[in-house]
Amino acid sequence: MEVKLGFGAVPKPQYVFVSKEADHCWYMLAEDERRIPIYERALTGVITGIEVNKKVETRFGPVEKNDLYILADKPYIIRSGSESYFSQSLLLSLDVLTSEQLRNPLTIAVSPGDSNVVFCNIYDPVNYRSVGVSWDGHNEIDWQTLGQKVSLKINRIQNLNQEPIQISVNTTASEIHAILIGQSDTYLAQLNWTPEQGRKYLQQRYGKRSRLQLTDTEILDFIDYLKLQLTQSCPT
């Protein structure tokens, strides 16, 4: 990715929100909180992490959200309600994907259903095949357990025994930050930390409630701390 010099937008991940409207199913927010429709149905990139059942403060009070981190032309975070059909179909699809498939680019697509429902479909952008999932017995699925299972699988792909992610001279600051977030996701999943544990530590250590608020130096320090905890927790 080419780095553009000079004045421009702040390099930070772009949040994408899911909502069924007349002519689109997801949107971004402008700085003034105005909704910006996204008319394209699909986003293709590499999944770098996922956070499930994340408590988020909204104007309606605290709600639980799922955040899917994707590195494409820039870092994106797809945020959806933890109990929404989009999140549930996303988890079902991610659950059947292999680790090898998750290392390659994937296409995340929105599919409108009845009423206000939006489903998620995942495609292989090389052969255009969709990931087939079954909704049989979905009412009996423990979605929290499935979310933890999927989170562990995704966030352990870049683990201690694998080659580190290569960062080239063309990697932008926002891409580097997204990569660091993904690495911290890996160690948090391996340590089985809950979102509450993470927020409590960030608040005590850095005076911040989210990793997205950390500087690169702070998140590197956080990653080193998690690595130390992981090493100490491993049996000798």
pLDDT on residue 235: 44
pLDDT on residue 236: 37
- Asked whether the beta carbons of 186 and 81 are under 8 A apart, the reply is no
pLDDT on residue 76: 93
Q: Check: pTM over 0.75? Answer yes or no.
A: no
**pLDDT tens figures, 85-118:** 999 999 999 999 988 888 889 999 999 988 889 9
| Spatial CB neighbours of 125, under 8 Å, sequence gap ≥ 6 | 44, 105, 106, 107
pLDDT along the chain (236 residues), means of 10: 74 90 93 92 92 82 90 91 93 89 92 90 92 78 85 66 48 71 82 86 90 83 82 53
Say how far apart CA 215 and CA 236 lie, in whole Å.
Answer: 34
pLDDT on residue 41: 95
Say how far apart CA 71 and CA 85 lie, in whole Å.
Answer: 23
> 212 by DSSP, 3-state: which?
helix
CA angle 24, 104, 117 (to 5 degrees): 25
pLDDT on residue 69: 92
What is the DSSP code string of 182-195?
HHHHHHHHHTT--H
pLDDT on residue 161: 38
Structure letter (DSSP) for residue 122: E
pLDDT on residue 169: 46
pLDDT on residue 184: 84
